[in-house]
């Protein structure tokens, strides 16, 4: 009887994890730039999800292929038919921008997901166990650090052919080194913390110590980095597409669209801004997408800053 | 005895995310000339905030909200309000008439500057005019400082009048000319060696060329004390100066402070949580709780007949040499100063709390001559007696 | 007859120092350099000494948190054969079922509790390692342990940062006793706490020791605290145990000059006349190259020739009192003569 009343008294309070989450969210949303970031991001997510309704694909089997009417190299200004105009080769800019959002998320999630997973796994193991594995891995990371991204990307493209997938693989291959270093240094700090030692004294297995004590306390810097990386990966991929290593011509990718507009950035001498729409729409999308992730990353950094978090 | 330093209604708040932390609430304190005053209290009760407020070195987000800090360097001088001084005037007070020893000698010493330069810096900051005058006199009386003697004489003559003269500032930027202060630096180093030697450190000439990491903890603390004493301060503030040291080293430092008091410094304000240190070195004591002063008076009076329930509880909660029976502890814990308890801040933990305690804030009253207490209960008991 | 629980025979912990181009070992920090000590069942042994003398290292070496590099640490379980902890790995200890019997409470409760775990899970962790319980039984057990340390059911679902320092230390103690240990190393458990809270924790620890029949190794530099809680005291200097005896005996009849210096250095909160104090010259020598002979001879006020040549052994002088000093029979008179100190009460 007494137990049950005590139980209800406990349950009457909200669950502490919920309270903690609220506290963190409150901290994040106190920051105006975070609000801007989240709004921008939810806009992009909305566009990405609703892409088939906003811009119904012409070829159902290949929605990422931008539809085009004619082959004229001269872009056409926004009209009722093409509300953002058409770019060189008569590709519909509006369609490209909408489906390019999906491409951007695909690039970001794939690269950050793979690099993060590999980096976190290796970094935690190296930091926690130390010894020869740590030494070996870190020297290998040093070697990876010396590989220039562009050279690696060109090699992969030469070997496997042009395509967005190959660029994403190239990016993931060089990006994981960041995560290894960051999480390893966090784990090194935690490894000798007293609560980890106490867990060892109780006979808790290494696996449980890593999952219960090490990871939850070291994951936040990686989350922040991942958020920032989502944006910068899109920039890198766009750059690759721009120099001709990435998505093939006509693929709905912002970088590739900027590449198509390359010859029309500056118009004829009597009207230099004649073809502004070819560069403006995909360009602004890249900028806003990166900005959104960076603002979010900054807000996360502020929210998880241990110096500010607790009194 | 004349009053050296008097804080009146000092109020300091820290503005944090959770709200304003009322770290000091109308805090009053007075220290006489030639007295060693011990300020005791638990961590977080505002001991360090007190001195930091008095010296105006509160860090953001702390703000001094009000009050006065009256300081009279000479016994008969008109007191000045430190809180009303400009920052520049304050700089000449800090380190000169009031100086401070910090808890952690490692943090107080710069690891990449030699010990000698660190001690000499204090002279170079506060005593340039005096040292220049001395060197000028020496040159006038025939002493030679090498080829550049006439140049030194001319420049130091200016420095003796006004060490912040524009000419000197200009020359300090010009190659070769900037060496005008060489004799002063030399003199400062000589003085540094002298004061380090005075603190019982063997061969100070060698020590001044070393770096802090070459020295042990006790040595470093001595160097910090040397820096603090360099300009013969009227008031020396020691903020937990012995807390991080071992018992045997603490004994050395306490003895040093005792010797210094006999010789040179006028007053010492000792901040500590160790009641033993206070009992042995101080003449007067102030007991702080949660940003307020609850009891102050002669150490003997306060420790033998404590009137405030907090002081009583604190004294019974530390183990003693001839400890008998179980230690008494104070129930509960130190309150959060964002929402301090109403009335007397100790009342939620006080065994003698009355209704009045939760509503009215007790005033600091002199119930017995020389023994001030802020407590309704003591007020009633003693007041009823007299 | 008192039963031993742990016996240290020349226990050593040397930390290697690497140098040179090929990172060869050039020297070692002798944090523990051959320590002999008996710990008896049910007692609270206080270990005192200055910082860097190896007090904490002793505690950590015994429970195999930092594996010793030499010597023996023999553990006598209540049931079964004695075993040498110094030669066992953590895994071996776990397999022998004694890992959880040796626990530790750390100095600072803010760093010894995982900030992202609820109190419930913190206490549950050691219990789960030992027995499989249903959720209801587990919770019941957790609550009973919390109540033992003066907390209650309402504290279950909270994070460590929601507690005050004293309460956090109670939680750390609760976690240690949840592992149902026999022997607990207490590493300065009160020095990070407020004065007024210190007494609560000391009384709690004392109560638990009696109720659960625990054995403590209480590491501290605060002599009055150790006097209050300990039944026996070991004084350490530079990686060696130099004097051990029952608490009252140490305070009434100290034999080693260093113990005299420690005792006279205690600031006494009771206002008395100007205290006589043995102020030692200089600092603790480096454990990289400890002095020859008696390690204390460089600072000892009564040093004679033999002290710098021969290392004194820990000698039993009766009354369960052991001391390592060449001049132990005359120290008392010397102290009285030179410093005018007769006793420390």
User: What is the domain count for chain B?
Assistant: 3
Q: Say what the alpha-carbon torsion angle B374, B376, B381, B382 is, to the nearest 10 degrees.
A: 30
Choosing among C118, C125, C182, C192, which should be mutated to test the A contact, i.e. which has the most A CBs within 10 A? C125
Averaged confidence pLDDT in chain C: 88
CB A242 within 8 A of CB A258: yes
pLDDT band for A6, please (50, 70, 90 cuts).
very low
pLDDT band for C164, please (50, 70, 90 cuts).
confident
Q: Which CATH superfamily is domain C1-52+65-228 in?
A: P-loop containing nucleotide triphosphate hydrolases (3.40.50.300)
Percent of the residues in chain C that have a pLDDT greater than 70, as a whole number: 97
* CATH 3.40.50.300 domain residues, chain C: 1-52+65-228
Find the CB nearest B43 among C194, C264, C275.
C194
pLDDT by residue, tens only, chain B of 386 residues: 688 888 888 999 988 777 788 888 888 888 888 888 999 988 778 888 888 888 888 887 888 888 889 988 877 778 888 888 888 888 888 888 888 888 788 888 899 999 999 999 888 888 888 888 888 888 888 888 888 888 888 888 888 888 888 888 888 888 888 888 888 888 899 989 988 888 778 788 888 898 988 887 778 888 888 888 888 888 889 888 877 777 777 887 888 888 877 776 678 898 888 888 888 888 899 999 888 898 999 988 888 888 999 998 888 888 877 777 778 878 777 788 888 888 888 888 888 888 888 888 888 888 888 888 998 888 888 765 54
d(CA B10, CA B62): 13
CB contact under 8 A, C111 and A203: no
d(CA B116, CA B205): 9
* Residue C143 scores a pLDDT above 50: yes
pLDDT (average), residues C327-333: 86
DSSP string computed for B182-203:
HHHHHHHHHHHHHHHHHTT-S-
pLDDT (average), residues A178-205: 91
Show the domain range for B132: 115-192
pLDDT value of position C265: 81
pLDDT band for A5, please (50, 70, 90 cuts).
very low
Assign 3-class secondary structure to chain C.
CCCEEEEEEEEEEEEEEEECCCCEEEEEEEEEEEEEEEEECCCEEEEECCCCCCHHHHHHHHCCCCCCCEEEEEECCCCCCCEEHHHCCHHHHHHCCCHHHEEEECCCHHHHCCCCCCHHHHHHHHHHHHCCCCHHHHHHHHHHHHHHCCCCHHHCCCCHHHCCHHHHHHHHHHHHHHCCCCEEEEECCCCCCCHHHHHHHHHHHHHHHHHHCCEEEEECCCHHHHHHHCCEEEEEECCEEEEEEEHHHHHHCCCCHHHHHHHHCCCCCCCCCCCCCCCCCCCCCCCCCCCCCCCCCCCCCCCCHHHHHCCCCCEECCCCCEECCCCCCCHHHHHHHHHCCCCCC
Find the CB nearest B315 among C223, C269, C344.
C269
Residue B201 domain flag:
no
Find the CB nearest C224 among B217, B278, B321.
B321
B338 and B354 assigned to the same domain: yes
Output phi, psi for A178, to 5 deg.
-60, -45
Out of A9-13, B200-204, C319-323, give the one with best mean pLDDT.
C319-323
Q: Which residues of chain C make contact with A212, given a CB cutoff of 8 A?
A: 114, 117, 125
pLDDT tens for residues A34-92?
899 999 999 999 999 998 888 888 877 888 888 877 788 888 888 887 888 888 878 88
CB contact under 8 A, B251 and C227: no
B306 and B368 assigned to the same domain: yes
d(CA C66, CA B36): 45
Topology (CATH) of A50-291: MetI-like fold (1.10.3720)
Q: Tell me if chain A has a CB within 8 Å of the CB of C65.
A: yes
Find the CB nearest B252 among C194, C195, C279.
C279
Tokens, residue C197:
């809270």
- Using CB atoms, which chains have 3+ pairs under 8 A with B? A, C
Q: How far does CA A103 lie from the centroid of its chain?
A: 11
d(CA A187, CA B286): 46
CB pairs below 8 Å between A and C: how many? Answer: 71
Q: What is the CATH number of the domain that holds B93?
A: 3.40.50.300
Tokens, residue B217:
């903890």
CB A173 within 8 A of CB A233: no
pLDDT value of position A1: 34
**A139 backbone φψ class: left, alpha, beta (φ>0; ψ -120 to 50):** alpha
Tokens, residue B17:
């995310």
B36-40 and B62-71: which strand pairing?
unpaired
Q: Tell me if chain A has a CB within 8 Å of the CB of C96.
A: no
């Amino acid at each position: 009887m007494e137990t049950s009343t005590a139980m209800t008294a406990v349950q009457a309070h909200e669950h502490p994890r919920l309270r903690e989450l609220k506290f963190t969210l409150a901290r994040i949303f106190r920051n105006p730039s975070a609000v801007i970031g989240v709004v921008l991001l939810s806009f992009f997510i909305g566009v990405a999800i609703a892409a088939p309704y906003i811009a119904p694909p012409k070829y159902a089997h290949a929605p990422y292929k931008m539809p085009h009417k004619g082959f004229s190299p001269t872009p056409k200004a926004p009209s009722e038919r093409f509300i953002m105009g058409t770019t060189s080769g008569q590709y519909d800019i509006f369609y490209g921008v909408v489906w390019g959002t999906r491409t951007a998320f695909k690039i970001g999630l794939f690269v950050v997901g793979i690099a993060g997973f590999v980096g976190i796994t290796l970094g935690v193991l190296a930091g926690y166990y130390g010894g020869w594995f740590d030494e070996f891995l870190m020297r290998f990371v040093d070697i990876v650090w010396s590989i220039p991204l562009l050279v690696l990307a060109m090699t992969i493209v030469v070997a496997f052919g042009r395509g967005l997938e190959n660029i994403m693989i190239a990016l993931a291959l060089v990006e994981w080194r960041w995560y290894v270093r960051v999480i390893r240094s966090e784990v090194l700090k935690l490894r000798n913390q007293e609560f980890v030692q106490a867990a060892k004294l109780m006979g808790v297995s290494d696996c449980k110590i890593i999952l219960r004590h090490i990871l939850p306390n070291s994951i936040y810097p990686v989350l922040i980095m991942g958020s920032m990386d989502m944006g910068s990966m899109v920039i890198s991929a766009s750059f690759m597409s721009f120099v001709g290593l990435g998505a093939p011509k006509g693929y709905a990718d912002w970088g590739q669209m900027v590449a198509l507009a390359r010859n029309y950035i500056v118009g004829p001498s009597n009207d230099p801004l004649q073809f502004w729409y070819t560069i403006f729409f995909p360009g602004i999308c890249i900028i806003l997408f990166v900005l959104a992730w960076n603002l979010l990353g900054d807000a996360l950094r502020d929210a998880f800053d241990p110096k500010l978090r607790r009194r | 005895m004349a009053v050296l330093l008097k804080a009146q209604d000092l109020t300091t708040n820290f503005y944090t995310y959770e709200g304003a932390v009322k770290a000091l609430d109308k805090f009053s304190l007075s220290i006489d000339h030639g007295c060693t005053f011990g300020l005791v209290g638990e961590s977080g009760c505002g001991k360090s905030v007190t001195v930091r407020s008095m010296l105006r070195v509160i860090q953001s987000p702390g703000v001094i909200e009000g009050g006065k800090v009256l300081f009279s360097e000479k016994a008969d001088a008109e007191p000045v309000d430190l809180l009303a001084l400009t920052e520049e005037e304050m700089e000449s007070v800090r380190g000169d008439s009031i100086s401070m020893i910090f808890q952690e000698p490692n943090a107080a010493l710069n690891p990449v500057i030699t010990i000698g330069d660190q001690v000499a810096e204090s002279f170079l900051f506060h005593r340039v005019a005096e040292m220049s005058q001395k060197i000028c006199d020496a040159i006038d009386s025939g002493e030679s400082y090498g080829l550049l003697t006439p140049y030194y004489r001319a420049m130091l003559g200016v420095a003796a009048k006004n060490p912040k003269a524009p000419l000197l500032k200009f020359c300090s930027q010009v190659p070769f000319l900037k060496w005008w202060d060489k004799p002063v630096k030399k003199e400062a180093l000589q003085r540094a060696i002298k004061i380090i030697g005075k603190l019982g450190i063997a061969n100070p000439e060698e020590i001044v060329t070393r770096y802090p990491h070459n020295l042990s903890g006790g040595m470093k603390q001595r160097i910090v004390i040397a820096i603090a004493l360099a300009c013969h301060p009227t008031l020396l503030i020691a903020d937990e100066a012995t807390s991080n040291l071992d018992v045997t080293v603490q004994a050395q430092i306490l003895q040093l402070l005792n010797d210094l008091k006999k010789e040179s410094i006028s007053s010492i304000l000792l901040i500590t949580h160790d009641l033993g240190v206070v009992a042995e070195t101080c003449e007067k004591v102030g007991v702080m709780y949660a940003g307020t002063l609850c009891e102050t008076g002669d150490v003997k009076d306060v420790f033998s007949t404590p009137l405030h329930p907090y002081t009583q509880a604190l004294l019974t909660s530390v183990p003693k040499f001839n400890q008998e029976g179980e230690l008494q502890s104070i129930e509960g814990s130190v309150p959060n100063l964002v929402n301090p308890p109403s009335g007397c801040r100790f009342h939620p933990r006080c065994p003698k709390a009355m209704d009045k305690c939760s509503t009215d804030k007790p005033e600091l009253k002199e119930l017995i001559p020389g023994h001030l207490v802020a407590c309704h209960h003591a007020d009633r008991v003693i007041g009823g007696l007299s | 007859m008192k039963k031993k629980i742990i016996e240290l025979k020349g226990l050593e912990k040397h930390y290697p120092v690497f140098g040179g181009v090929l990172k060869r070992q050039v020297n070692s920090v002798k944090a523990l350099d051959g320590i002999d000590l008996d710990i008896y069942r049910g007692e609270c042994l206080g270990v005192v000494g200055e910082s860097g003398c190896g007090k904490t290292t002793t505690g950590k070496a015994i429970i195999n948190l930092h594996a010793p590099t030499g010597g023996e640490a023999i553990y006598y379980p209540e049931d079964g054969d004695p075993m040498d902890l110094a030669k066992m790995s953590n895994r071996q200890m776990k397999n022998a079922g004694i890992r959880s019997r040796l626990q530790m409470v750390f100095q600072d409760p803010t760093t010894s509790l995982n900030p992202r775990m609820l109190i419930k899970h913190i206490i549950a962790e050691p219990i789960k390692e030992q027995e499989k319980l249903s959720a209801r039984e587990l919770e019941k057990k957790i609550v009973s342990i919390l109540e033992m340390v003066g907390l209650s059911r309402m504290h279950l679902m909270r994070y460590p940062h929601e507690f005050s320092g004293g309460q956090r230390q109670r939680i750390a103690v609760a976690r240690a006793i949840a592992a149902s240990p026999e022997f607990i190393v207490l590493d300065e458990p009160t020095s990070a706490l407020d004065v007024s809270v210190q007494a609560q924790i000391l009384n709690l620890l004392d109560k638990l020791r009696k109720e659960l029949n625990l054995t403590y190794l209480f590491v501290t530099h605060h002599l009055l605290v150790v006097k209050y809680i300990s039944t026996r005291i070991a004084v350490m200097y530079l990686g060696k145990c130099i004097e051990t005896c029952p608490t009252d005996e140490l305070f009434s009849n100290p034999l080693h000059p260093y113990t005299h210096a420690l005792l006279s250095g205690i600031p006494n909160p009771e206002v008395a006349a100007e205290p006589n104090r043995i102020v030692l010259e200089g600092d603790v020598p480096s454990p990289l190259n400890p002095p020859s002979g008696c390690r204390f001879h460089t600072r000892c006020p009564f040093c004679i020739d033999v002290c710098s040549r021969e290392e004194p052994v820990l000698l039993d002088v009766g009354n369960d009192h052991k001391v390592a000093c060449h001049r132990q029979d005359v120290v008392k008179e010397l102290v009285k003569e030179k410093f005018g100190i007769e006793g420390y009460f």
